Structures are given as C-alpha cells and as structure tokens.
Amino acid sequence: MGIDDYITIIGDKEKEINERLEKEKSYGENLIATATEEWKRKIKELEAERTNLLKQAEEEANKEVSLELMNLQRLFKEEVERIEEKSRKAIRKAIEIIIEEAKRWA
C-alpha cells in the first residue's frame, strides 16, 4: 500500500467521523429542542395548575367570608332583638311605675 492509499483511508475515516459528528450534533440539537418544548409545556401546566389553585383558594375564602358574614348578621339580628325586648320590658316597667305613681297622686 502506498501513501495515496493511506491518504484515501484517512480521508474516508475523516469523512465517516464527520458524518457521525453531524448525526450526534443533530441528535443532540433535537434532544435539546424536545427538552425545551417539554420544559415549556410543563411550565404552562404548572402555571395553569397554580392559577386554578389560587382561584379555588379565593372561592373557598369567599365562601368562608360569606358564611362568617352571615353568622355575624345573624348574631347582630339576635342582639338587636334582645335589646328591643329589653327596651320593651323597660318601657312597660316605666309605664307601670308611672301608672302606680299616678294612682298614688290621684
């Protein structure tokens, strides 16, 4: 074998290595692109999940606030009714006292 044969063999090997490098580079670029797309998709899913959880939390908080408000309104109404009943009793008592005093003075 002569030098030309070795040059040909080396050239063929170099060509083969370059083709393998290009294939590996292409494969790596495809992996990176796929991983990037998968990462973007997962980020969108997580953002949507976070948004849904925040909405659910807000709805639950609103329900709790509404229930608490209704409870406070009920307690307020009961307290007003108790005060009104005490006022009526006090007014009746005052009227009775006035009538008794009027009878005594009459």
Question: Is residue 97 one of the residues assigned to a domain?
Answer: no
Question: Is residue 50 one of the residues assigned to a domain?
Answer: yes
Please determine, for residue 4, whether its predicted confidence score (pLDDT) is greater than 90: no
Question: Is residue 84 one of the residues assigned to a domain?
Answer: no
- What pTM does this model have? 0.52
Domain that holds residue 44: 1-75
SS3 46: helix
- Arithmetic mean of pLDDT, 82-89: 97
Question: Is residue 62 one of the residues assigned to a domain?
Answer: yes
The pLDDT of residue 28 is: 93
Question: Is residue 70 one of the residues assigned to a domain?
Answer: yes
The pLDDT of residue 5 is: 81
Burial group, residue 22, by CB count within 10 angstroms (0-12, 13-18, 19+):
exposed
Question: Is residue 32 one of the residues assigned to a domain?
Answer: yes
Please determine, for residue 58, whether its predicted confidence score (pLDDT) is greater than 80: yes
The pLDDT of residue 70 is: 97
Question: Is residue 8 one of the residues assigned to a domain?
Answer: yes
Tell me the backbone φ, ψ of residue 91, rounded to 5 degrees. Answer: -65, -45
Q: Could you tell me how far CA 105 lies from the centroid of its own chain? A: 75
The pLDDT of residue 92 is: 96
The pLDDT of residue 77 is: 97
Per the structure, how many domains does the chain have? 1
Express each pLDDT in 13-45 by its tens digit.
Answer: 999 999 999 999 999 999 999 999 999 999 999
Question: Is residue 85 one of the residues assigned to a domain?
Answer: no
The pLDDT of residue 16 is: 94
**3 pLDDT tier (thresholds 50, 70, 90):** confident
